[in-house]
Amino acid sequence: MRYKIVVDSCGELPEELKGDAHFTSVPLDIFVDGYHIVDDETFDQADFLRRMEASRECPKSTCPSPELYQAAFGCDAEHVYAVTLSSQLSGSYNSAQVGKKLYLEENGEKQIHVFDSRSASVGETLIALKIRECEEAGLPFEEVVAATERFLGEMNTSFVLESLDALRKNGRLSHLKAFVASALNIKPIMAGTPEGSICQLAQARGMAKALDRMVEDMVGKTKDCREKIFAIAHCNCPRRAEKVAEKVRKMANFKDILILETAGISSLYASNGGVIVVA
């Protein structure tokens, strides 16, 4: 096999890629009041959302161990790439780097590169698709890395949350601010920074206005739309995601629009009703 793409489980893989031997997912773990959930094909979103809503604490997550990454790198592919959740949000990137070091120490030289997505969810998905595109075009390993890093540097991530409860539970928003925002139906429009942390872009009264504002901002700052995929991840709100896609189609002509449902870690971040967009 020429190449292998290892994506941590915060990156949602379309069904077609789950059965593709070139792709593999390394799971993170989630804990809700001590209940252990593995973010793999066994993840039950409905059960997780019920547990998260009932809990007074924010769920905790742990990144894949270096040994899990080491094992994933031990495939027969000539070129191996890992795509991880932003290093500003998780230890997954550092764990993958340690896993790479362990593999090389025990097995000798191999072409392995770890990408810090500086994003999450479908941001990781788009990076994985870019790697595949470069590999299928026959580019050498170094050129695949360079092209993907350029793509990653131009990528933008934004999201809108239905509820501020998760932000309140994890201490990123005071009880008073969360109460006032909820009472006034104010929805924050969040974005990823170039470094991979999270900032607030704006806010709007009501979900529909917030989603419109998010799409307008995303389309406005995306260069060469015809050459790019607009990716949407939703947490238990498919109709909302479709409405976002409809607005995108009216505003710009992207190469494709990809809609996926959030898996475990992305469901934790987005919460019930949240929408994430990346382009």
The domains of the chain are located at: 3-28+63-154, 157-278
What DSSP designation does 83 have? E
Measured CA to CA, the distance from residue 132 to residue 279 in angstroms comes to: 17
Measured CA to CA, the distance from residue 191 to residue 221 in angstroms comes to: 12
Q: What is the DSSP string of 2-17?
A: -EEEEEETTSPPPHHH
pLDDT score for 67: 98
Measured CA to CA, the distance from residue 17 to residue 170 in angstroms comes to: 33
Nearest to 39 by CA among 60, 19, 15: 60
Residue 138 phi, psi (nearest 5): 85, 20
Nearest to 169 by CA among 59, 93, 95: 59
pLDDT score for 175: 45
pLDDT score for 81: 98
List average pLDDT for each run of 10 residues in the chain, which is 279 residues long. 97 92 97 96 96 88 97 95 96 98 95 98 98 98 98 96 64 44 68 88 90 96 94 98 98 97 94 96
End-to-end CA distance of the chain: give it in Å, rounded: 29
pLDDT score for 277: 98
Longest dimension (CA), the chain: 59
Q: What CATH topology corresponds to 157-278?
A: Hypothetical Protein Tm841; Chain: A;domain 3 (3.30.1180)
pLDDT score for 180: 41
Question: CB atoms < 10 A from the CB of 174, how many?
Answer: 11
Structure tokens belonging to residue 45: 């979103």
Q: What is the DSSP string of 171-209?
A: TSS-HHHHHHHHHTTEEEEEEE-TTS-EEEEEEEESHHH
Could you read off the pLDDT of 146-177 as tens digits, one per residue?
Answer: 999 999 999 999 999 886 665 555 554 444 34
Could you read off the pLDDT of 188-197 as tens digits, one per residue?
Answer: 888 899 999 8
Cβ atoms of 269 and 172 closer than 8 Å: no
Measured CA to CA, the distance from residue 21 to residue 58 in angstroms comes to: 35
- 3-28+63-154 CATH pick, 3.30.465.10, 3.60.21.10, 3.40.50.10440, 3.40.190.10: 3.40.50.10440
Nearest to 82 by CA among 140, 154, 23: 23
Measured CA to CA, the distance from residue 117 to residue 152 in angstroms comes to: 7
Structure tokens belonging to residue 132: 């595949």
The helix/strand/coil state of 79 is strand
